[in-house]
Amino acid sequence: MLLGVNIDHVATLRNARGGVEPDPVKAAAVCEHNGAASITTHLREDRRHIKDRDVYTLTNTLTTKLNLEMAMAEDIQKIALQIRPYSICLVPEKRQEITTEGGLDVAGQVDKVIEFIKPLLDAGIIVSLFIDPVKEQVEASKKTGAQFIEMHTGAYAEAFGKENEEAEFQKLKQAAELAQQIGLKVNAGHGLNYENVHRMHEIEGLVELNIGHSIISRAVFTGLPEAVSKMAELIK
Ligand code: PXP
């Protein structure tokens, strides 16, 4: 499994004072040097953390891969087509939410997703759909032509160490199996941390885990190089 580091929280901290530090672009380079196989960032419609300029700079400075998280919004699609990241991950987005709260409802809007991702696929950008680990969402994702799904691991993370951990974990395992059977590649992420990440090894064939909050939180105490290399070691 590979580690993708989400650097959005670095931008949140920077924006708290409206200045230039800490610089998410510099953080991305540190992540790359310490075991990240890709850098994920979410250009939100309200630009609350990462700004357009960050994304343009990352495009020119990254030595690994840029995975751009985005909602189904035309202006963000335009930027994606301009910068051509290695991959995009389509996520639902609500203005009031603190973080991406649930998976994208692909099953309820297959045609809309097909239409939205077509220009991105035509441009050679890999498309991933961030979905809950549910059969109908996995099957609908296949219909869209996207190559990847990213399974939302939030419910598993929330249940970790509690009675319903096994049930939530099995949903991920079964969804990953189904996805691979029908020809989708599978990533996972959201809420994964240094304690709960180990069970991802029990799911065969996962390509990449996208992790942000726990890594940036640990970095406050240990520094970013240690936080990233420790997570990279855990998921290798
Ligand atoms: N994957 C997706 C699609 C996300 O939206 C997020 C959160 O921005 C993550 C992964 C990373 O989640 P966390 O910050 O909880 O590790």
Q: Are 179 and 139 in contact (CB under 8 A)?
A: no
Best probe residue, ligand 1, of 190, 192, 197 (max atoms within 8 Å of C-beta): 190
Burial of 143 (0-12, 13-18, 19+ CB in 10 A): middle
Q: How many CB atoms lie within 10 A of CB 122?
A: 9
Residue 94's pLDDT is 75
3-state secondary structure of 86: coil
Distance (Å, rounded) from C-alpha 84 to C-alpha 52?
14
Residue 99's pLDDT is 67
Structure tokens at 41: 């960032």
Which residues are the active-site residues?
42, 69, 190
Tens of pLDDT along 92-121?
Answer: 987 666 666 789 999 999 999 999 999 999
Domain boundaries, position 101: 2-235
Chain-centre distance of CA 45, in angstroms?
16
Ligand 1 centroid, distance to 212 Cα (angstroms):
6
Distance (Å, rounded) from C-alpha 115 to C-alpha 226?
42
Residue 95's pLDDT is 63
Closest CA to 232 of 216, 218, 211: 211
Distance (Å, rounded) from C-alpha 120 to C-alpha 117?
5
Q: Which residues of the chain have pLDDT under 70?
A: 95-100
Ligand 1 centroid, distance to 133 Cα (angstroms):
15
Residue 188's pLDDT is 98
Which ligand 1 atom lies nearest to the CA of residue 191? 15
Q: Helix H segments across 72-208?
A: 74-83, 110-122, 135-144, 154-159, 165-181
Tens of pLDDT along 146-178?
Answer: 999 999 999 999 999 999 999 999 999 999 999
pTM of the model: 0.96
Strand partners, 210: 4, 189
Ligand 1 centroid, distance to 209 Cα (angstroms):
9
- Nearest C-alpha to atom 12 of ligand 1 is from which residue? 190
Distance (Å, rounded) from C-alpha 197 to C-alpha 194?
6
Strand partners, 211: 5
The count of C-alpha atoms lying within 13 angstroms of the C-alpha of 110, restricted to the half-sphere facing its C-beta, is: 11
Domain containing residue 56: CATH number: 3.20.20.70
> Is 187's C-beta closer than 6 angstroms to any atom of ligand 1?
no
Q: What is the DSSP string of 183-212?
A: T-EEEEESS--TTTGGGGGGSTT--EEEE-
| CA-based torsion, 9, 173, 126, 44: positive or negative | negative
Number of folded domains that form the chain: 1
CA distances from 13 to 18, 22, 40, 80 (A): 9, 7, 17, 24
Q: Are 89 and 48 in contact (CB under 8 A)?
A: no
